[in-house]
Amino acid sequence: MVDFKVIATDFDGTLCENKWPEIGAPNTKLINYLKTEKKFGTKLILWTCREGYKLEKAVDWCRLQGLKFDAVNHNLPEVIELYGGDTRKISADEYIDDKMCAQFELPFRFGEDIERSMTTEFVSVS
């Protein structure tokens, strides 16, 4: 077991405005959150579909924003050792992504009542 928090964050549409393949405006609220978490010992993983030159540009952009990642598109060395390999799924305590399902009230807290927010009616498409 690792004794630190791990946050995996996406890049396009998350750390910055989605302007793929370019890099959009910074999401300063998220960047500041991640920098604060890092100060408290949280490990950060950049978790993105970018690769090659576009990935290098994203990592450089993050560095200019003051973000330094402990891993990029891979698990942390401590996690790889714990599981005996670099599993395909990035292991984290918190995942931040622009495609996150907004239907549910997140973060989920065990024991709290959750109201059904989906409709039970079906819509016919003709």
Range of the domain at 27: 6-96
Bridge pairing between strands 71-72 and 43-46: parallel
Q: Give the pLDDT confidence of 23-68 residue by residue, as tens digits.
A: 999 999 999 999 999 999 999 999 999 999 999 999 999 999 999 9
**Sheet containing 43-46: order of strands:** 71-72, 43-46, 6-9, 94-96
- Number of domains comprising the chain: 1
2 pLDDT above the threshold of 80: no
Q: Please report whether residue 48 resides in a domain.
A: yes
Q: pLDDT band for 73, please (50, 70, 90 cuts).
A: very high
For residue 14, what is the domain's CATH number? 3.40.50.1000
What whole-number percentage of the chain has pLDDT above 70? Answer: 79
- Give the count of alpha carbons within 13 A of 48, CB side only: 28
pTM over cut 0.85: no
Q: Please report whether residue 109 resides in a domain.
A: no
106 pLDDT above the threshold of 60: no
Q: Please report whether residue 122 resides in a domain.
A: no
